[in-house]
Amino acid sequence: MRSYPGVILAGGEGTRLGTVDKALVELGGKRLIARVIDRLAPQCATLAISANGDPKRYAEFGYPIIPDGAAEMQGPLAGVLAGLDWAATKGFKAIVTVATDTPFFPTNLVERLSQVARPEEFGIAVTEEKGETRWHPTFGLWPVSLRDDLRVALARHQRRMVQFTESKGAVPVVFEGPVPDALFFNINTAEDLAQAEEMLARV
């Protein structure tokens, strides 16, 4: 499992949290990106942070900062593409992506993704709630071989992650946990942040 690099998608501006960098918002006295790093680093060979803006704000974490690319290509898929391009220069065959605003993702994320999807395949995390499958496309195992198709999609302004992942035949990887509502709980608003504070004691 540790043969895969992890790419943290930290491009979210957090507009519903004010004018703050979402990755640097504190949860339980610790910044979100620090929580994500602590959870992902033991699962991966190395990490990189995909983000725009001043890279100095993440310098203290000691990982490469990868810009998302041109303004017209910004968004989670652009962050994935930047991660794939970076991984290709390092000789990796695939990357695992996570979102910086989702601090409770599974500690066996990489293990489960790699069990179901091989490096040349494409695996995306899903949960099943009340008989319905919910996709979490920012959490996935992405083969480097996808980068050319992804570049074309972005050039055509196709930015929807679920649409792209489904069109490329992503393998759904089901995750379960003792607190299922927390697994991929993402923080977008002040209310979400307050709810996440309550979840801390349960995860």
Is 10 among the annotated ligand-binding positions? yes
101 annotated among ligand-binding-site residues: yes
SS3 (DSSP) at 168? coil
Does the annotation flag 22 for ligand binding? yes
Max Cα distance, the chain (Å): 44
| Gap between the Cα atoms of 10 and 138, Å rounded | 11
146 belongs to an annotated ligand binding site? no
Asked if 153 contacts 72 with a C-beta cutoff of 8 angstroms, the reply is no
Sign of CA dihedral 172, 140, 41, 129: negative
DSSP SS3 for 135: strand
Is the Cα dihedral 158, 170, 51, 29 positive or negative? positive
Centre a 10 Å sphere on the Cβ of residue 197 and count the other Cβ atoms it contains.
13
Please check whether residue 187 is in contact with residue 22, taking contact to mean a CB–CB distance below 8 angstroms.
yes
Does 130 carry a binding-site annotation?
A: no
> Token match 């198709």: residue?
149
Q: What is the DSSP string of 149-172?
A: HHHHHHHTT---HHHHHHHTTPEE
Q: Is 68 annotated as a binding residue?
A: yes
8 A C-beta contact, residue 10 and residue 58: yes
List the binding residues for Mg(2+): 101
List the binding residues for GTP: 9-11, 22, 68, 101
List the binding residues: 9-11, 22, 68, 101
